[in-house]
């Protein structure tokens, strides 16, 4: 499903259930020593998706180990992102000579608690959410915003190695085009010789899921 909102040059793999055939890479096994069974299956299936995407890129399957902040460490020449939620696991990878960074996120399409809405947004964004709800009342817009902000962070971090808070990016959605724009409220990284002030991405609601994605293409 996630492939539908990403460029074809990004290799994607996903699953709507944990896969019995999925096995952790030997280097990943120590990470699972204290995990409950549900977490073990989730971890293993998500990384199985990642290695499937590696194969699609012509990259030898490799372990996906966490970095200092828990971010996935990809093989040389690869950039990408993983996500998992109840009933869905996915990975999206690309060659780093084609894309600077790729971020994805998936959430169940369900209402977001009001306290969380206020935590992730500023008043102007909440006004935007209310207007979106009038136009497309069938969409749980706060959940779409939460997912998109997760995707912004996953795209931002490989470029900067720095934290980005929920309120450090202000989002606006196009309800018909299935796109969003994230304006950075802190200095962005220099990308292709220019200071980055925005991310643009895509969103979709499919089969009870909210899906969001950003693929930051390199200049040619």
Q: Are residues 109 and 88 in the same domain?
A: no
pLDDT for res 43: 96
Do residues 88 and 138 share a domain?
no
Final residue of a domain: which of 80, 97, 114?
97
Q: Given its phi and psi angles, is residue 129 left (phi above 0), alpha (psi -120 to 50 degrees) or beta? A: alpha
Percent of the chain residues past pLDDT 70, beyond the cut: 100
177 in the same domain as 207: yes
Q: Is the pLDDT of residue 97 over 80?
A: yes
pLDDT > 80? residue 141: yes
Residue 122 shares a structural domain with residue 87: no
Q: What is the CATH number of the domain that holds 38?
A: 3.90.470.20
Q: What is the DSSP letter of 188?
A: P
Same domain, 213 and 115: yes
The tokens of 3 are what? 């492939």
Q: Do 65 and 137 lie in a common domain?
A: no
In this prediction, residues 97-124 reach a mean pLDDT of 98
Q: Say if residues 79 and 96 touch (Cβ distance below 8 Å).
A: yes
The DSSP code for 192 is T
pLDDT tens by residue, 167-208: 999 999 999 999 999 999 999 999 999 999 999 999 999 999
Cβ atoms of 100 and 89 closer than 8 Å: no
Q: What is the mean pLDDT of the chain?
A: 96
The verdict on 82 and 134 lying in the same domain is no
Sheet arrangement for strand 198-206: 99-108, 209-217, 198-206, 179-184, 169-174
Q: Which pLDDT score is estimated for 220?
A: 74
Closest CA to 24 of 52, 60, 48: 48
Q: Which of 71, 68, 98 is nearest to 82 (CA)?
A: 71
Residues 194 and 210 in one domain: yes
- The whole-number average pLDDT for the span 109-133 is 98
Question: Is pTM, for the whole model, over 0.85?
Answer: yes
pLDDT tens-digit series, residues 44-91: 999 999 999 999 999 999 999 999 889 999 999 999 999 999 999 999
Are 111 and 135 in the same domain?
Answer: yes
**Cβ distance 34 to 43 under 8 Å?**
no
Domain boundary among 97, 132, 161: 97
198 shares a domain with 145: yes
At which of 97, 115, 134 does a domain end? 97
Range of the domain at 25: 2-97
Q: Quick one: 83 and 122 in the same domain?
A: no
C-beta of residue 22 within 8 angstroms of C-beta of residue 48: yes
- Say yes or no: 119 and 209 in one domain: yes
Number of domains making up the chain: 2
Please give the backbone phi and psi of residue 60, each rounded to the nearest 5 degrees, phi first: -60, 135
């Amino acid at each position: 499903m996630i492939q539908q909102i990403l460029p074809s040059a990004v290799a994607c793999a996903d699953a709507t259930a944990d896969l019995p055939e999925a096995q952790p890479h030997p280097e990943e096994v120590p990470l699972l020593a204290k995990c409950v069974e549900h977490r073990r299956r989730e971890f293993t299936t998500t990384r199985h998706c990642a290695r499937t995407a590696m194969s699609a890129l012509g990259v030898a399957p490799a372990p996906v180990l966490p970095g200092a902040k828990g971010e996935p460490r990809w093989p040389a020449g690869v950039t990408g992102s993983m996500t998992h939620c109840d009933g869905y696991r996915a990975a999206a990878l690309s060659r780093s000579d084609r894309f600077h960074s790729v971020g994805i996120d998936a959430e169940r399409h369900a209402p977001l608690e009001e306290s969380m809405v206020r935590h992730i947004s500023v008043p102007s964004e909440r006004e935007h959410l209310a207007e979106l709800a009038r136009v497309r009342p069938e969409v749980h817009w706060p959940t779409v915003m939460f997912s998109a902000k997760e995707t912004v962070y996953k795209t931002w971090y490989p470029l900067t190695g720095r934290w980005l808070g929920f309120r450090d990016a202000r989002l606006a959605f196009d309800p018909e085009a299935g796109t969003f724009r994230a304006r950075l409220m802190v200095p962005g990284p220099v990308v292709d010789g220019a200071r980055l002030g925005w991310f643009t991405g895509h969103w979709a609601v499919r089969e009870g899921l909210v899906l969001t994605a950003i693929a930051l293409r390199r200049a040619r």
